[in-house]
A and B are shown apart, each in its own frame.
Chain A
Amino acid sequence: MKEELEKRIVKGPDGIEFEVEPLRDYYCEAAPTVMPQAYSKIIEGFFNWARAESLWILGFGTGCGAIEMRPLMTPRFDAYRYGVQWRPTPRQSNLFIISGYLSVKTLKRAIRSYEQMQNPKYVIGLGSCTINGGMYWDSYNTIKCLDDYLPVDLYIAGCMPRPEALLAGFEELKKLIRAGKAEGANQYAENFEWYKANQKKVILDWDMPDYNW
């Protein structure tokens, strides 16, 4: 465990000493809960329509796929016309694109980013390497099967997929959301123990609490 995460006595600027235990004091320990449906089916349908029309992507390029994000943000492909935009922080975004292979070190950060996102939230796996390892099927440092670690709503295959494929993927995701089938976040809350066990199996130095939003 890193030094700054250990329990210690800290002297504040005003001279008063107090105890800090970062893992308990800086993080929330409450496990995620399943988000219930709205009280009426029509209202839920309306919510889903609204969610589908504003996909805000977390700008975390986890692998090579991030290079095709830039053309999507610029005039040639212009994903903004579909209500898709990129946000710099997990708090403001509801779609996490895992853009390629995840090394174990990035997986840890990706899990933290995902857990910091607000519900409702969706995950797209981009590229063959998120599906079955792709080119890196025998690599010792990349995960092979993304949906063991994060609830994936949609995969876009290819190495690497063209921007048009991404646009088509966004349209597919919108259909899923409108049909009420993109329930990844609830799935994550329901099978929380299973996901955590999988994550801890590959992340060797787990120095954070189980749930850290």
Chain B
Amino acid sequence: MRELLESLTTPYSLTDPVEQRPDLAFVTAGRGQLRPLLMHLRDKEGFTHLVILTAVDWLEEGEFQLTYLLSDRTHGRDIGVRVMIPRDEATMESIHDIWPTAATYQRELREMFGIDFPGSTRLNEDFILEGWADIPPYRRDFDTLKYADETYKQRPGRETRDPAQHMKEQLYPDGK
């Protein structure tokens, strides 16, 4: 795994390599380097299986992290390629022509994070939600509890407690 990372680092200018387990590593690639890197990994290194394509919202840094996790079955190893894209201009190149199944992931990201993948099939059709008008729900600035309280009537009588506070009161009733 280490040799693979070393051989890839210079040609594709990868940063932040993390060897999470002997069979799993994560690297960060530039936005423009993604397609050649994925093609290289798929065709030359045997990473033929796209396991997941997902996003992480780093709201504080104003960035989305896209994670492309590829798997190489013959050697039993995985590599996760991270691509950071700015939050306010969330567009990324589509890879549905490399893996047809990526179109589904991209549709979900489009709906749940609002990340655009121009050219991907059925991208703008409703995937999970129907007639959603608010900001995409998986973004960190979307508050699900607030939305639920405003939209749905909660049945009265339900109590919500802070677990730490509740346990403290239960275990130390005299407040010590």
Contacts and interface: CB of A to CB of B under 8 A. Distances in A.
Q: Do chains A and B touch in the complex (CB under 8 A)?
A: yes
By secondary structure, the A interface counts as loop
A27 to B, nearest CB: 19
Given A140-B147, A144-B152, A205-B131, 18 more contacts: A104-B129, A104-B130, A108-B130, A131-B155, A132-B154, A133-B152, A137-B154, A137-B158, A144-B148, A144-B154, A144-B155, A145-B153, A145-B154, A145-B155, A148-B153, A204-B130, A204-B131, A204-B132
Interface of B: 128-133, 137, 142, 144-145, 147-148, 151-155, 157-158, 160
Contact of B129 (A133, A139, A141): A141
A201 B133 CA distance: 13
Contacts, number: 56
Contacts of A132: 154-155, 157-158
A138 interface: yes
A139 B154 contact: no
By secondary structure, the B interface counts as loop
B129 A138 contact: no
Contacts of A137: 148, 154, 158, 160
A139 B144 contact: yes
Q: How large is the interface on A (under 10, 10 to 19, 20 to 34, 35 or more residues)?
A: 20 to 34
Interface string A196-208: 0010011111000
B130 A140 contact: no
A7 interface: no
A8 interface: no
Contact of A205 (B128, B130, B158): B130
A133 B130 contact: no
B114 to A, nearest CB: 15
Given A104-B130, A132-B158, A138 B152 contact: no
Q: Which 6 A/B pairs are nearest by Cβ-Cβ distance?
A: A205-B131, A204-B131, A132-B155, A138-B145, A140-B144, A140-B147
B144 A202 contact: no
Interface string A132-158: 110001111111110010000000000
A104 B151 CA distance: 11
B130 A105 contact: yes
